[in-house]
Structure 1
């Protein structure tokens, strides 16, 4: 597993299969969560091992203009690391061929995607402590509605139970 930032880890999971060229509701929630992850990273004080953030900062981070900037930044970083790419969508190949509408979607490196999911499975579905990073990643997955792409309903119940015990 390569060393990735919190934002990169979430983006790898959240952007996988999302349309890259156009704005839609699913992508909106993922980009909102990526913007929050980026804000949280910037708000972390490694010296005192504390998070310094507030509601106003999160609100600023999730403005549409900021989310678009974060999308460009994070996708460029992941593409440079060969962990994310844009491919033609099968939907676009068929449905919009005659209308000359190009639909592309993000596709994450499958091995790294699985590594990130396995990390979360180990944290939440096995005995042992849960890291702050694991908690934040699951929170981001839930709030971006991507949790169903990573975990089955019984697994989600176990995750909720473990979070409730913390």
Structure 2
């Protein structure tokens, strides 16, 4: 992955030394590169990014700095769990990349259990369980309270289905 390559390159550059002052860098591996060359793009994942399941990711709110990383995921959908409008820059990114936005505004702060209607959770689960929406990113502001609660609901629902279907088969 480019991130691994970039980290290796950073390690190699620390072992490099400057050439004759003409902007060329020679490293201990014998290759040279001009400082005017375009540098490889570094990919920065959003805050609290993690893989939940195959094709399902979670994170905090993506910023412009995260767009390159998100492009590598080839997302089809984003599930946004906050009531605030999606920022214009992010909407532009979604349109450019053909990503659908599903917004389920969940009110509340540190105690979301009280304020999230069952219908909202049910409808959001339908979006996540529909593989036509995968790869999919689920996020709120910091990727903690609402996202964590929703992922808990997803895992509880998904794995209980698996468990009960296994029991039905005598496994």
TM-score tier by shorter-chain length is under 0.3
Q: TM-score, normalised by structure 1?
A: 0.26
Query: Which fold has the larger relative contact order, with Cα–Cα distance below 8 Å and residues 6 or more apart in sequence?
Result: 1
Would you tell me which structure has more strand in proportion to its own residues? Answer: 2
TM-score (norm 2): 0.25
